[in-house]
Structure 1
Amino acid sequence: MNLQDKLDNLREQLEAGIPADTLAIMHNSTAELVSSGIMDDVLNVGASAPAFTLCDQNGNDISSADLLSQGPLVLTFYRGVW
């Protein structure tokens, strides 16, 4: 089973436990985002992200260039408490 099949399987399992009205809201929101053109600005697989500087967990500025000079860089986006 390839990764896409695994992801599709996981989505189906998760959606099975979500009430139909809630699931409809989620799918409608996703469709609205896609139709807004937001997907035109996403990076494609293999693309390089633009350079950036953000604050670390201690409030210190750190640049992607500094991190990349130490090796590969992985970004994780945490949306906070649900």
Structure 2
Amino acid sequence: MSLADKLAETRAASAGRIPPERAAIMHRATDDLRKSGILDRIVPVGKPAPAFELANHDGRRVSSVELLAGGPLVLSFFRGSW
């Protein structure tokens, strides 16, 4: 199954379990982000991300440069609670 297919499946499953009033809030927030111009400031697909250092779940500083030295790096971003 392709990533596009998996994402479509996830969206369909979410549409069935998220109450319409909450879905409307999420869609409104997404639209607001798009209108803010945030998409003009992201790293384009296929371009390297800038080096960074962040705290991990234990509060320890983690460097992207050090992690990349060990192989590919995958990042996950979570928006948090709505």
1:19 corresponding residue in structure 2: 19
Bigger radius of gyration = 1
Q: Which has the higher contact order (CA 8 A, sep 6+)?
A: 2
Deviations 1:9-60 (A, max 9, x none): 2201111112111111111111111111011111222110101122345544
Structure 1 outlier segments of 4+, above 4 Å: 56-60, 78-82
Identity score, percent: 48
Point out where structure 1 has 5 or more consecutive residues left out of the alignment. none
RMSD between aligned alpha carbons? 2.4
Shift of the alpha carbon at 1:75?
2.1
- TM-score of the superposed pair, with normalisation by structure 2: 0.74
- Give TM-score, length-normalised by structure 1: 0.74
Q: Structure 2: 5+ residue runs without aligned partners?
A: none
* Aligned-residue offset at 1:2: 3.1
**In structure 1, C-alpha distance between the alignment counterparts of 2:52 and 2:35, rounded to whole Å:** 28
2:51 & 2:65 partners in 1: Cα distance? 7
State yes or no: 1:3 paired with 2:31. Answer: no
